Amino acid sequence: MANPLAASNKKAPQGRVPAYQRIEEDIRSKVKDGRLAPGAMLANRHNLAREYGVALSTAQQAIAKLTADGVLVTYDRRGTFVSHPSAGDANGTAGGNGAYAPPPAAIIPEKRAGRTSEAFSESASLSGKPVSMTLGIVTASRIDTMSYSDIEIFWSCLAIRSLEQVFSEAGGATRYYHWRGENQETCPQGLPEDYAASIHNGIAAVRADGADAIAVVGFCDATNVSDEIVRAVDIENVPLVYISWHEVQPPLAQVFYDNSFAGYQAAQHLLRQGYQKLVFMVPFADAWITDRIAGARAAIRHAGLPEDTLRLYSPETPLETYDRPSAPSRMYEIATEFFVKEWGPLRSAQPCGIIAPNDDTGFQIMDAAEEQGWAPGRDFGLVGFDDDPRSCARGLTTVRPPIEAMGEEAGRLLLRALQGDKNGQSVRLRSHLIPRASTSLGTK
């Protein structure tokens, strides 16, 4: 089904008509002739601006006018919808005062009944009742363990909460599925030997229960998980969104966060706090660390500083990949070696900031430093990543991934897909730096 919001500026009247007015008139026309049915969800403001080839502020101006007139209605965390006509308006258009009744829920096409999305939207909107729909949520982590010290479980729970809220506000229900074996540990060392089969079995369980859409939450996955998802489900006919820590290749619709930008934020913050030399601790290798290092180097470059402003500190034989059980002790050993052998001369030269691969290893750097008589925030700066639940209590500055926003965005993508928008999107979200005591230069 073609996107009813797709527009060409060639069709819009030219001349002196303001751009926002052309967008307004085009949407009014689509509502009037039924191309945008009552209850239909519009694309977000950024996508609208891109579709019409205008600035974001111009698209917002058009939507604001249509909302004020009652043609559209906007709900926080749900999006913007075409309003339902008032009950007394038999023609299905705005009355003399432009009054519209808000949609009871997003109108979702019934695929299994064999009707087209347009026909179903029309019949559902006339009934004025929310449409029943089910979202199957598939995860690689056991969220029922409540082990929030495991960052994968913590993130999955946060994303699912936001995802469920968006879906429930649109009239839907959710079901949870776990695609790993019952006794499997978390990633990456805990992946089952029959990894591909376990993904297929998990998604098969979702489809067998008749879920209308699928959300796969995989914050700590293997590199080939996206390939297995594509093999396991017909994504052309089953709305599916993949929530992940890294970008994957098409055709999956996906929401992920930008690890490179997170590294940029960490380095930029330290520089702005007055730290003139930076050290990135690299106790092990992994793709997400490589991305964060690249971002930190970009921040150095954009600040007009020499490349050697950032130094990578790594053992002679770093771990080939991140191994959660052994990572903390490994980081503690490396940090102790660093503070015993190299910290004295480095500190006496100029203020130095340290970037840890994540918060978990950042805690080990703090412990190793304090045993040698050094304190973050007083003698050096320290930034981690992930906003581990313990980071606040320990005063560790961290870069927080937009986990809740990722869940919300995934919910919106699925709702649009259920309305017939099959244009799978890859949505990149940026993290937020949370300053705490560990980067307060010179604090006593």
The full length of the chain comes to 444
Residue 277 has pLDDT above 70, yes or no: yes
Does 276 have pLDDT greater than 80?
A: yes
Q: Across all residues in the chain, what is the average pLDDT?
A: 77
Provide the pLDDT confidence category of residue 170 given band limits of 50, 70 and 90.
confident
| Contact of 387 with 266, CB cutoff 8 Å | no
Cβ within 8 Å of residue 186, ≥6 positions away: 140, 141, 142, 150, 152, 153, 220, 324
One-letter-per-residue 3-state SS of 164-219: HHHHHHCCCEEEEEECCCCCCCCCCCCCCCCHHHHHHHHHHHHHHCCCCEEEEEEC
pLDDT at 424: 66
For residue 145, which amino acid is it?
A: T
Which pair of tokens denotes residue 344?
Answer: 């004295």
Structural contact between residues 108 and 116, judged by C-beta atoms closer than 8 angstroms? no
Q: What pLDDT, on a 0 to 100 scale, did the predictor assign at position 194? A: 56
DSSP strand pairing (397-400 vs 352-355):
unpaired
pLDDT, mean of residues 276-300: 91
Lowest-confidence region among 54-58, 262-266, 297-301:
54-58
pLDDT exceeds cutoff 60 at 417: yes
CA distances from 427 to 159, 252, 255, 258, 276 (A): 15, 11, 5, 10, 35
Q: Work out the average pLDDT over 94-110.
A: 38
C-alpha 104/C-alpha 114 separation (Å) is: 24
Asked if 142 and 178 touch (Cβ cutoff 8 Å), the reply is yes
The pLDDT score that the predictor gives to residue 283 is: 85
pLDDT at 421 over 80: no
Give me the helices (H) in 176-326, please.
195-208, 225-232, 259-272, 287-302
370 has pLDDT over 90: yes
Q: What is the three-class DSSP state of 81?
A: strand
What gap in Å lies between CA 171 and CA 90, rounded to an integer? 26
Over residues 318-363, the pLDDT tens digits come to 555 555 556 677 888 899 999 998 887 777 678 899 999 999 999 9
Residue 384 CA to residue 57 CA, distance in Å, equals 35
Q: Measure the CA–CA gap between 425 and 252, rounded to whole angstroms.
A: 8
Q: Is the pLDDT of residue 13 over 50?
A: no
pLDDT of residue 336: 92
